[in-house]
Structure 1
Amino acid sequence: MLTTNAFAGIAALVGDPARASMLVALMDGRALTATELATVAGVTPQTASSHLAKLVAGELLAVERQGRHRYHRVATPAIAQMIESMMAVAATGAIARHRPLRTGPRDVMMRRARTCYDHLAGRVAVGIADRMITRGEIRLGADGGEVTERGTDLLRSLGIEIPRAAGRRGGRAFCRPCLDWSERRPHIAGAVGKALLAHSIDTLWLRPIAGSRAVIVTPLGRDTLTRLFGLAPDIWDDPT
């Protein structure tokens, strides 16, 4: 049951700048060590360990052990959705309006296509969602999403089969909207979003960049995604 104390506790955990930096760094789906996260947050390893212990205790992060190493990751897709939504809200605030970000080449790539936890985000992802909604292949609402029969046929034609068990109680949402922090419109998350990203990487439409959330859209990917989803030509222009 939700209590105001629990709500305030979560807000306090996320509200520390060092902990916020760690959470954002983990939004590409990787699991990172305390030392790596200390570097991201600009704090000492000892301070990072203290912050991480609080995030784990608050169930925002989970720990995986491999031999002598401990790796931290975002605990659940719901937590990742919360972080992405907060990033979207922060990007529309007074600081963003009065102190515009001067983007460089890396930022351009992030805005075009990037990972959002375990699914695709950015202009390309929003364009795919828009087209699938227009063609009646998915329905996205405030509380969730649905893949129609037409959408199921499209996914199967691409060789994507998504277990319906993903939508069972306690499991990953089958299909849901995720507010894109740079485009401020929804892209596709849940099991469907995860499968689309995995398929795009397996087929070499997308190529991940080590150490970054940005992904490269290959020439094959650009041609194929444009054909499959009727993406507008200007989606490939450098965003400003």
Structure 2
Amino acid sequence: MSGDVDVAAVAAVLAVPARARVVQALADGRALSAGRLACEAGLSPSATSAHLDRLRRAGFIEVARSGRHRYHRLADERVAEALSALAPAVPVRSLKQGARAAALRRARSCYDRVAGRLGVAVTGGLLGVGVLERVDGVGDTSPRWQDPVSSRLSEHPYRLGPGVGVLGELGVDLDRVSALRGRRPLLRFCLDWSEQRHHVAGALGAALLESFVAREWVRRRAGQRALVLTEVGREALSCTLGLAGRDLLE
């Protein structure tokens, strides 16, 4: 028999700023080596190793092996979602911090999908071309009154539409994604914290970001969650999803 949840135990794990930076480095869904994590979190290899061991024992991260190499990743996407929903924004006190905050709002990875203005625009584009349909009669990505801010929706008003063939033009093989998704829902949605609109998550959201990166439509910023939309990506998304320049961050 289990008792109540131990909130203090979770708080103790993340109370160390350096350890929290390790978790933040993994918040975009990547699996990173200890050396890469040390670089991104600004820590020594020995300190990183100690923090990774503590996070693993606490159930925050898991280890994936590839040959002789070990890669660390969040044990569950809900870890990143909970932190995003609960943690306060860092105050902006310099031009550099302001530029970084603006970049996150333009386009970022939220665990393993596209978020920010770009993520919401892509989701709206999917609605526009019929890949997605809203079943509640709303024609865009506007939130409902009951949707929790900056959080995954427990239930959502979307389904696949008749335009799913467009996914192939975006580099997504829907049959393959459906077969490999395991217990993860194909369609899942979050209320974007910066845009206050829905962005697509789940297995489909992950497949879209994977394709965008592979096709070099977006680039990751080193050590950051911010994404950069390339000119190739701008043209491709404009043609495929009918997004205007304003939607694509101009």
Instruction: State the TM-score, normalizing by the size of structure 2.
Output: 0.72
Residue matched to 1:164: 178
Q: Deviations over 1:203-225 (max 9, x none)?
A: 44334445443333222321232
After TM superposition, the structure 1 = structure 2 runs for residues 1-240 of structure 1, keeping only pairs within 5 Å, are: 4-66=4-66, 69-87=69-87, 90-91=88-89, 96=91, 99=92, 102=95, 103=97, 107-133=101-127, 137-139=132-134, 142-145=153-156, 146-156=158-168, 158=170, 160-162=172-174, 163-165=177-179, 171-237=183-249
Q: Distance in 2 between matches of 1:16 and 1:188?
A: 32
Q: Deviations over 1:87-121 (max 9, x none)?
A: 5xx22xxx64xx56644555544432232232212
Gap change, CA 1:31 and 1:203, over 3 Å in 2:
closer
The secondary structure found in structure 1 opposite 2:27 is helix
Q: Distance in 2 between matches of 1:167 and 1:39?
A: 31
Contact 2:186 2:203 in 1 (8 A): yes
The secondary structure found in structure 2 opposite 1:233 is coil
Q: Which runs of 5+ in 1 are unaligned?
A: none
AA aligned opposite 2:202? G
Contact 1:166 1:172 in 2 (8 A): no
The secondary structure found in structure 2 opposite 1:81 is helix
Q: Which runs of 5+ in 2 are unaligned?
A: 135-140, 142-146, 148-152
The secondary structure found in structure 2 opposite 1:5 is coil
Give 1 or 2: higher helix fraction.
Answer: 1
Residue matched to 2:144: none
Aligned identity (percent) is 38
AA aligned opposite 1:224? A
Contact 2:113 2:209 in 1 (8 A): yes
Contact 1:65 1:71 in 2 (8 A): yes
Q: Distance in 2 between matches of 1:67 and 1:167?
A: 24
Q: Distance in 2 between matches of 1:28 and 1:41?
A: 14
Count of matched residue positions in the alignment of Structure 1 and Structure 2: 229
* Shift, 1:42, TM fit: 4.6
Q: Deviations over 1:114-146 (max 9, x none)?
A: 322322122111112234446762448731444
Contact 2:192 2:199 in 1 (8 A): yes
RMSD: 3.4
Contact 2:218 2:227 in 1 (8 A): yes
